[in-house]
Amino acid sequence: MNYGFVKTACATPTIKVADCSYNSEQIISQISFASQHGASLVVFPELCVTGYTCADMFLHKFLLEQAEKAVGQIMQRTSAMPIMSIVGVPVAVDDALYNCAAIIYKGELLGLVPKINLPNYNEYNELRYFTSGKGVKKKIIYAGQEVDIDADVVFSCNQLKDYKIGVEICEDLNAVCSPSQKLALQGKATVIANLAASNEYAGRSEFRRDLVRITSAKLCCAYMFASAGPGESTTDSVYSAHNIIAENGNILGESVKYSEGITYADIDVERLGSERRKNNNFTWVNESDINSVNFDVTLKQTKLNRKFRKHPFIPSEKAELIKRCEDILTMQAIGLSTRMLSASIKDLVVGISGGLDSTLALIVSVKALDILGLDRKNLHAISMPCFGTTKRTKTNAEKLSLAYGADFSVVDITKSVKQHFKDIGQDENKYDTTFENAQARQRTMVLMDVANKIGGLVVGTGDLSELALGWATYNGDHMSMYAVNASVPKTMVRHLVAYETLISSDEIAAIIKDILATPVSPELLPPTENGEISQITEDVVGPYELHDFFLYYFVRYGFSPEKIFYMAMRTFEGEYDRYTIKKWMQKFYIRFFTQQFKRSCMPDGPKVGSVSLSPRGDFRMPSDLQVRQWLERINEL
């Protein structure tokens, strides 16, 4: 449970209807098995102690007594197991019978939660037996213990503040105003357990899956749906043991239908808490009618089955990746074309280097002109070679620009930069920051002045990863009139450019493939004796796949350095050792904090993903924020 991860399970035992003794043995066995596999919470189906399909037998005192005895057995025999179990059982209170969830932990009955919405249509007739638990708040003696029966209750972990469990039962999920809404809003429940007996028919499983997934997204919670299996009577209905665990709109675990057993998933309650703190919808004030039952756990290192995406900005499925590329390129082009319309501009100016970022900016510019029905000659692609420019990149820049039908020109800035060095007394053989930045600023001046000359707009090429690291020359390539790549991470830039090869002519595709094979470099230092690129960006700032990983979980979820490091170690095992990950993580935090001043005055650009560093949109941070405490944490790792 360290770092907010909780291993959970939905279990469907093989039961015999109305045989409470047999059923309790199956439940105890699955609790034990789940506990041995590291689960801290296991949820069982609705009325699993008796079986959901007991019908009029629910009205027999003997069955209810056997069910209570079975719950006592479950409590006693799981008392030494560090796992919370939630099982379904009918409970008689005075003259009413309630369909309840019994919450059992370390030999204690923490609570009984009654079902509120009782279906009484089609094949369902629960009102024949049960009373709605709405508004019920009573203390009773059950299984030898005093306990509250209460639907408005959340079970809160003392050691893990974001771990709060709410319970609803089957039909409650389908209600217009489900109990889980109140539990999540007022009770702050981050985990909703649903004990269900959801029968099967054609198309039902797809609807059920979507309902669980969307509910978890709407409530920003983990939703655990445990359903009855084939062991139930099939007189008129079939039950498929369709168990689902979802977290904030994503399915983490799902059973194979008609297969009784246990489905596991590692949920991240810290991530859910972080998401909610960003969302004003969860700032509910009145919590007076939600009770809290607290419990203690011993925090332990959870052995995770959950995998973290190595490239969190990039969809894992090919079809989804292609669709994402289409969407992002469209958003970039729409944003740029709208800016052109609003400013009454018909010409675009792009500095084209033969690298990935400027290639993407060129592609987006072409699409924007096509949207507006303008001639591609209105795109002015300018190559500005200097000390570090190689033949390969210069050639690719020219070939690609001409292949797209753009107006291509070359402005060699070598002489002007050398003159500038003379003016300020800079030794041109001293390869320092001034040597590099003077070239970048000269290029920006050329682009801006050309744009002024023709009444055009300078399209920025810098990407999200470069902004995060401050890997841009202030008032040089850092500046433009519209930054189309500003929220596109470097790992995604490559895929967007590669996507263009799928929809372009053979000529364009061949050029782009060579660009994709070219090392990422600002080309500000002289080439090698063989004319090859000498300055490799990732040798200086570190691997972009690591930085994009750090960036996503730092900005998107606000995770601590320890948690991000833990996740990175698991994700990149066998690729980067501990020393390497720690080294580049330190570099990321130092650069991210110290380079905020560049982001504070970055140009406009379209947001295309869930992470943006625009000071006018998603991310605000003072330029003088201190990084010391974050680095201290990293040093302790």
46: annotated active-site residue: yes
- Distance between CA 485 and CA 461 in Å, rounded? 6
Secondary structure of 469-527 in HEC code, one letter for each residue = HCCCCCCCCCCCCEECCCCCCHHHHHHHHHHHHHHCCHHHHHHHHHHHCCCCCCCCCCC
DSSP assignment of 73-110:
HHHHHTTTSS-EEEEEEEEEETTEEEEEEEEEETTEEE
221: annotated active-site residue: no
Give the count of beta carbons closer than 10 Å to the beta carbon of residue 343. 12
Query: How far is C-alpha 45 from the chain's CA centre?
Result: 29
- Distance between CA 488 and CA 521 in Å, rounded? 18
Residue with tokens 């923490």: 110
Where does residue 293 rank: exposed (0-12), middle (13-18), buried (19+ CB within 10 A)?
A: middle
Where does residue 135 rank: exposed (0-12), middle (13-18), buried (19+ CB within 10 A)?
A: exposed
- Distance between CA 384 and CA 217 in Å, rounded? 48
Query: How far is C-alpha 118 from the chain's CA centre?
Result: 35
For residue 165, which amino acid is it? I
DSSP assignment of 219-270:
TTSEEEEEE--TTS--SS-EE----EEEETTEEEEEPPTT--SEEEEEEEHH
- Distance between CA 305 and CA 526 in Å, rounded? 48
**Measured CA angle at 389 (ends 384, 393), to 5 deg:** 90
User: For 514, left (φ over 0), alpha (ψ -120 to 50), or beta?
Assistant: alpha
**Which uninterrupted H or E stretch holds 139?**
strand 137-142
Tell me which of 170, 221, 325, 386 is the catalytic residue: 170
Where does residue 315 rank: exposed (0-12), middle (13-18), buried (19+ CB within 10 A)?
A: middle
Task: Please tell me whether residue 636 adopts helix, strand or coil conformation.
Answer: coil
List, in sequence order, the alpha helices (H) in 260-355: 269-278, 318-342
Tell me which of 7, 10, 20, 46 is the catalytic residue: 46
Tell me which of 7, 115, 490, 598 is the catalytic residue: 115
**Measured CA angle at 412 (ends 410, 415), to 5 deg:** 160
What is the sign of the dihedral through the CA atoms of 488, 491, 494 and 500?
A: negative
Contacts of 600 (CB under 8 A, 6+ apart): 615, 623
- Distance between CA 610 and CA 319 in Å, rounded? 20
Residue with tokens 């102690």: 49
- Distance between CA 386 and CA 406 in Å, rounded? 22
- Distance between CA 14 and CA 232 in Å, rounded? 9
Where does residue 211 rank: exposed (0-12), middle (13-18), buried (19+ CB within 10 A)?
A: middle
- Distance between CA 637 and CA 629 in Å, rounded? 13
115: annotated active-site residue: yes
Q: Which residues belong to the active site?
A: 46, 115, 170
